[in-house]
Amino acid sequence: MTKIKQAFQNGKAFIPFITCGDPDLETTAAVVRAAAENGADLIELGIPFSDPTAEGPVIQSANIRALAAGVNTDKIFDLVRDLRRDITIPLVFMTYANVVFSYGAERFIGLCAETGIDGLILPDIPFEEKEEFLDICHKYDVALISLIAPTSANRVGMIAKEAEGFIYLVSSLGVTGMRSEITTDLSSIVETIRKNTDIPVAVGFGISTPQQAHDMAAVSDGAIVGSAVVKLLEKYGKESPKYIGEYVKSMKEAL
């Protein structure tokens, strides 16, 4: 799990999210490489799911497009094998429990380790129910990354104490998506986290502009951006690697 920590050793970390297979896996590979070349410190790869409950309309649409194009979990593992020929920064999967469960948790997490996936984010698994996957993740040294939300309240310290890899701090109530402003008092949540762990904290949900990324990184160790990246994919399709590379560079500089 030390590889994930490396993402936070080059100043504040910029973490883009990309839905695999939108519009196709060849474009996904090119986007990942463009992001890595332009300063991404860690990349979240989204495995499409038919009912992505944490996602807003932008990423929901990306899931639908990817699934309609015939993307499946086996093809995404092949994508990761290809990426790992030259991509050295940490890669983590973000998906849903049913994807892992239906594939077979042991088989899925074992292939994560084999192909070079460093961590797993499952937003629909509460802290209290993570044991179903945790032992297998430990067996294969794949970090099961915890989320902390504004509603976590007195659970923040408890979640932080057992966190692995990095903590995904959800900036706002609701689903993913670009927001004009983020008003949550994140500094007090981060303060509680810092009292319980030295694991890095990255803020996600709602961040889209360099200024927002700068502001979020000021109170944490990095910023996660999904919808703004996926919006560029939706707009430019196969031509998007160039534009996403430029966007990643501007966001990393802002941090």
Give the pLDDT confidence of 170-205 residue by residue, as tens digits: 876 544 434 344 445 788 899 999 999 999 999 987
The β-bridge relationship of strands 167-170 and 43-46 is: unpaired
CA 217 to CA 91: how far, in whole Å?
20
Q: Is the pLDDT of residue 221 over 90?
A: yes
Q: pTM score, two decimals?
A: 0.92
Q: Which domains does the chain have, with CATH numbers?
A: 2-249 (3.20.20.70)
Buried b (16+ CB within 10 A) or exposed e, 32-65: bbbbbebbbbbbbbbbbbeebebbbebbbbbbeb
CA 224 to CA 213: how far, in whole Å?
8
Q: Is the C-alpha dihedral spanning 54, 42, 165, 72 positive or negative?
A: positive
Q: What pLDDT shows up at residue 206?
A: 75
Q: What pLDDT shows up at residue 58?
A: 81
User: Binning pLDDT at 50, 70 and 90, where does residue 227 land?
Assistant: confident
Q: Which residues are paired to 94 by β-bridges?
A: 46, 121
CA 46 to CA 59: how far, in whole Å?
9
Q: Is the pLDDT of residue 99 over 80?
A: yes
Q: What pLDDT shows up at residue 172?
A: 61
Which helix (H) or strand (E) segment is 44 a member of?
strand 43-46
Residue 90 DSSP label? -
Write 109-116 long-range contacts (CB < 8 A, 24+): 109/133, 109/136, 109/137, 109/139, 109/140, 109/142, 110/136, 110/140, 111/77, 112/140, 112/142, 113/140, 113/141, 113/142, 115/77, 115/80, 115/81, 115/84, 116/80, 116/81, 116/83, 116/84, 116/91
Q: What pLDDT shows up at residue 171?
A: 77
Q: What pLDDT shows up at residue 52?
A: 65
Q: What pLDDT shows up at residue 168?
A: 95
Tell me: the pLDDT tens digits for 141-179?
A: 999 999 998 888 789 999 999 999 999 998 765 444 343
